[in-house]
Structure 1
Amino acid sequence: MKSGRFKVPLIYIAIGILWIALSDSAILWISQHIDHRLLRFLIFGKGVFLVLCTAVVLFLLIDNERKKLDNNNRQYRKFYEDNPNPIWFYDPITFRFTSVNDAAVAYYGYTRAEFLSMTIMDIRPAEDSEKVKDSYLKMSEDFHESGVWRHLKKDGSLFYVHITSHKTIQNNKETVMVMANDTTDKYLYEQRLQEINQELTAQKAEVDRNYLRLENTLNSITDSFVTINRSWIITKANLNFYTVTGLTEDVAGKSIDDVFPDSSKSAFRQLAEKAMNDNIAGNIEDYSPILNKWLRSSVFPTDEGIAIYFSDITAVKEKDIQLKLALERYDLASQATGDVIYDLDLVNHTLAFNTQIGVLLDISGTDGTDTLGWWRSVIHPEDIAVFSANQERRIAARDKYWLAEYRIMTNGIDYKHISDHGYLIFDEDDKPVRLIGAIKDIDLLKRSTEQLKRTGEILNKINNPVIISNAEGIVIWVNPAFSAVTGYMEHEVMGRDHAGLLYNLKTNKIIAQQLLRAVAAKESFSAELLNYDKYNREYWVSLNLYPIFDAQGRFECYISVQNDITEHKEREAVIGIQNEKLKAVSWLNSHEIRKPVASILALAQLMKSAENEEEKSELLELLFRCAVELDDIIMEINAEASGHIRVK
């Protein structure tokens, strides 16, 4: 269309220019050979001929272009009207339909007249209106692909269409041509694919999380874990696998024979091959010369091969061996110690004792003592439930070591306390089959403990401070009376040195040294000692220290029983002061008073024999002085007696 507009004028111009150029040259040449009248006729004929020729050419060219245009219009109408996809034109200002094809009428259910009374908003959900306007504003002059939109049919059903549009001119007015392609099935299919993809993504994330949890679980278990495929290639191993084996390089992807050479003939390898080939799980405890360890292993068949759990039981095995040796030695030692050794068959409930059972139970014969039922019959009724529960709990926990204290009947009347130590033996199925143990008579110890407990109660109730200390003089216990006297609470003195806690500068160093020598010699000691309480106040105690020994003569501790004698010491001090005063008064009586008294007696005798008054007056003056001196001495005696000694 665009090239047709310029084609006809260009042809016309080209022919005109060519005709003018050629005709003028021809006329110029002819004019030299004809007259002027004929020349004017030729010039006029030239113009007429040009007009006629150009008219015919123009008619033919225009008719050809018209036919092309008509053909294009027919093709365009055919494309528009007969297109199976809905096509319409709308006014971009009012968004009103200006034309729709038959496919749009058939597909949407509206008549052509109904379409022409509607806008393009009426075939969309109301919430998409603003999006339609925004899409138009973004539309370029050329072809524009708007994407997938939701449309509504006349019956209200919703479907999805892919919209393509472009701006055009219709009846000299700008319009927009739109073609809609129904993509409902494709859109819903893509949506479903997207949902499936999201579900798969979520499932993969869950699988990844589960795998991570499994990885963490495998790394957190105390057992070593490794998986091997059917080609005997290691596919996975947890962290504890490397800890037990001592390997540092990653073993995943390596052959088991490369990782553990010379393992093909081991008992464990035979168990693994049985699980791999026969699909049979198994357990084994075996010594590994490669790792130089005892291992407890469990092998389980899997779809890919086998999974192996194993743990290092070297320490347990060594303890078992040591325990068995100890039991053998203990059996010999029991002959000297008097312990009862027994062997309990947990499957048949039968018992076997050594000869010390008769001594323990104070019975003459041992007939009928070979069953578990009999043994339970001699246990104190109050202890039987605890005994049974303790034993069942140890068995359920697969604890190989058994320990219990309970009472049994002796001589058919009395009960005594015993300590029962045993070792549980499990079979290859991890079921208890045997209990080997030793029974010790601890009745005397129990009674001593009860006696000590009663003694402790007594010590807590007496009013005398009591201190229990170890061989180094470190306090390990004090009674409430100690706290009442010293002000120290028990937690304040525990672990402290006895001497450093209570002694001070005025404490008698000689007595303190004597006390230390007695402690070093583990001898009893008694003394009176000046101590200091928590607030640095002085107080006197009468100290009695006793070393305590056990039944075998081994030293255990010191017990110091103290008596507060502070008031007694204060009374002694007062009496001492009074005695000193009495000594001073006695000395004054025996020495100082005699001098003025003797002088007074002598002067009195002289006065009797005086011959004149002058002599008597002189003697009387001397007698007065002696009386004053005697009065001073008497006053000094009174002051001494009342505690105020005057200094001459």
Structure 2
Amino acid sequence: MNEADFNEKLVRYSHDLLCVIDSRGVFIKVSEACSRILGYDQHEIEGKSFTSFVHSEDLEVTVQASRQLKLNSNILHFENRYLHQDGHAVPLLWTATLSEEDGLIYCTATDISVEYKLRGKVEEKETFYRTLIEHGSDMLALLDEDGNFLYANNAFKRILGYEVQHLLCGNSCSYIHPDDLPALRRSWKRAAKLELLRMQDFRVRDAEGSWRWVEAIVSNQIGNKAMSAFVVSSRDITERKHGRLRLEESEQRYKALFENNPDIVLFENRHGVVTEVNQAFRETFGAAADSVVGKSLTELLPPDMAAVNARSLQEALLGSTLRYDLELKPKGAQTMVLDTVKFPVPAGEQVIGAQTIAKDITPIVRSFETIERQAKKLNTIFESITDAFFTLDKEWHFTSVNSEFERIVGATEQEIVGTKLNEHSEFDTEGHFYRQYRHAMETGESVHFEAYSERPGKWLEVKAFPSDEGLAIYFSDITAKVLALKEVEKLSLVASQTDNGVVITDANGRTEWVNEGFTRIAGYTLDEMQGKKPGEILQGPDTDPDAVQQIRKGLQEASHFSARLINYRKSGDRFWVSMDITPILDEKGTVTRFIAVQRDITLQKEAEANLLQLSQHLYQQNKDLQEFTYIVSHNLRAPVANALGLVHLLHATDTSSDNFASIRTYLQTSIEQIDTVLHDVNTVLSVRERDDVLELEPIKVVSLFEQVQAKFEEILQQFGAEVVLAVEPGTEVRAVRTYLFSIFYGLLSNAIKFRSLERTLHITLTAEKKATGELELTFADNGQGFDTRKAADKVFKLYERFHKDIKGRGVGLFLLKAHTEAMGWKVTVESQVQVGTSFRFNIPAEALLS
């Protein structure tokens, strides 16, 4: 091929736009690449001004570049945007030279759309991370080893009211509550030895002097040269902390009401099993009290009373409140008569069990028995009665009242005795009280009821006993008891309404009760959990055995403790849970049950993982910067020094001398070397982004390889090379098209460049599906090869070359590996001198489409 043919084909097949512009700025010749890059045919551009196609925003910089070229007559590099035939802007990198011989400008324009786009994505990514840090809800800070602020984000002002510059002048310890400071200092010392440390609840003073509760996560990045600090992410948990304290206070009040009630109180679940008894129960029944918990109440009662209790339990579970007398004989004691009230305990829309309050009315009952036997001894009976008491004759006249009646009703004996019941509206003569009294009078049956009386404004417990003389009516003020019961009901709803999961287990760790919050978090209902150990239901393959052992140890030691671990929902999904477990002790210090409050912290753990990933990403970027420092120091220093020296020589050399032209030529060579290194650095930076900014798309491997092969077809035929594709035509992967194109292009280019002169070039591309689901793609040639043992870990390093006699820069294999790893693939190489080279690409199963 003669030189003219070579130049013609070079212009025709060049990927860059080659053009010639005359002194008027008019295109007189353009290459065929103008159609591919700008969409215009050659005749549509030739004869037009070079500014006709320039984007309006880049017109000024383009004209300035033209003027600069005419003034200096040197090679000029600049960027601008030309308008494509369809109207969109095409970014171009121009290299222009003014020929002094004919006054024409010779230009090369390279389409840098890909680089332009990647550059924009890098800027967007930097803006994204900066916005995320400055406007996030958490307070982020960098602290040195002594706790001094090195950086703080704007969340400190929003949450605590401090200006950032104010924080940067001081030490973090000055904002910590004195009571919390010793524990935090101990944690800080541990943080120096750990990669990640969670600091539990502590108090921080805000700008107004108030104390806010905070939790923090400390990431030790002292060894990370990009940061050299502790990364502290903290969150305001004041409301949550106060809510937890209120809940604990409410629970203690409920426990106090339950335990200190003078009446016998017990709780039965829906199956009739007693789960709780109070101190009065234990004092009444002694050793039998411990044995009844976890069993049916009927085991403690005689057969007739057991049947009554069973019926009342069923009605209570249906929503009714029942009252009846219960007669039983505790071991070693006399027979007791208990005034028993059994009422439902709701949890949301479901009744979860029944609460029983039993008051010992044995003395009263025995008194009534005495009255029936000795009706004439009213005065003695009157003295023995502690409740309010009055009698009515058959005509509804008051015949007697006692002092307790006077106290509760607020009327004296003189005002009441001798008058009729209907003369006193405060006695509800048309309402519930009267109807009950009339029923007793007419039927001869005693009545026992509770009702609210308007006159004293109190809740009364009333018993009316008919006799031949009329009615004997006893009543007592039970306002405190009723209000206490209502308060207990309110307190019992607290656990059921909280968003956190609440689990109550017995002393052996078997579930007795869970609230709706637990069901929302884990998906399991009370019926599914009852009688089972939570760990047996919730734990799974990824649950940390050490965390499980910590829970077992805490239960054995019967002390309050917290734990974090992975559990599994009923749906099978994993979730992170934070648990606070508290033992409930009886008066002897024996554990009766455990209460666990659970909180779903999955989002928090994911945030921690994202922060760790971000730190690792920053660490990798720091390594890249070190490599670029190496590039600058070893590859830019020499040409820059040469250029500076030549510039000084130019000033001291006559422009008409031969030395001036030589110096200018050397200066041009040095600048071209600088440009080459800068181009390499720009190329390296363009592939450092990770998966989250890559545009993955389905690509047929064979089709793309054939496109690349077509660009080398002429030279492959010239050398008689043989290319074998042993890949199924339908093989399709998810990849970045430009990256995979670059990989195939570099492999074919190297195979041709480093071919053996002793044999015909032979190239193969094969694919093999592995048992793991991966696809192994192998590119092999029979070229000169190199000694991989000597090359060791330098194969893919920047500016490493293994054939000194063949021109190259040592960038190709570095970019090949960078492109491969950016897509999540792995690459290895095997090579032998004068045998050939094989590149193996391991493509993960998730990237395969067919």
TM-score category of the 2 structures, normalised to the smaller one: 0.3 to 0.5
How does the TM-score come out when normalised to structure 1? Answer: 0.35
**Pair member with larger Rg:** 1
